[in-house]
Amino acid sequence: MLEISKNVYALGAFYNRTLGAEEYAAFQRYLGLAPRTVVVRAFNRLQIGLSGCYVYGLDYKRMLKRNCAAVKYLPQHPNGVQFALVQYFFQVSTNAGDVLNLVMAKTLTLQRDYDDTTHIHVVESHHQELITFPLRDVCCNCIFISFTDNPERGYICEFISGFVRLILRLPFNDAMALKKVTLCQVTSKPKIEPNNTLKFSGLVHLT
């Protein structure tokens, strides 16, 4: 465990990574100019705070039973709160000798503007675009739920006081794919409501 900024720790080994064309383009968009290298110092796992808010990038292949790649982040532009799936983290050095801690991630586009009165948000999970943003913009990790029967849409759930209780009303076709949801343990019997939606609740603990 290596502290790379205040209360932020890189877990596991660093490795040299050569950026692919799409990754290079995402990095270039972030910098606003052509990067001077295609080789970066990457790592796949992150811990925020000593209490343990963990983010494991999609490139971490040992995480098989759950997805810990979803993050909430606050970009430095008027769009406000956004969500993404982290691919990996990486570092680059500037000409001045400073080290930039960055995130390579896939976009999760909110269907509506962010609403801070709810902890469940609908996102578009198709046509994901690679983006790069500063690690300092990451607020916390989240839960991303998607259904194989409807891959164009997913749900982001924010943690509240160490756990998330999900109460979702889904179109019946989505609900039938409930067994394919990851990271959601159903704690109430699903109920079909008059508008042909299925309501269920579940509890996910932050570990």
Among candidates 144, 184, 180, 179, which has minimal Cα distance to 166?
184
What residues contact residue 185 under an 8 Å CB cut-off, 6+ apart?
202, 203, 204
> What is the model's pTM?
0.73
Give CA–CA dist 175/185, Å, rounded.
Answer: 14
Separation in Å, CA 202 to CA 77, 120, 187, 205? 34, 13, 5, 10
- pLDDT tens column, 161-172: 544 444 444 444
Mean pLDDT of the chain: 77
- pLDDT tens column, 99-113: 999 999 999 988 888
Give CA–CA dist 9/97, Å, rounded.
Answer: 21
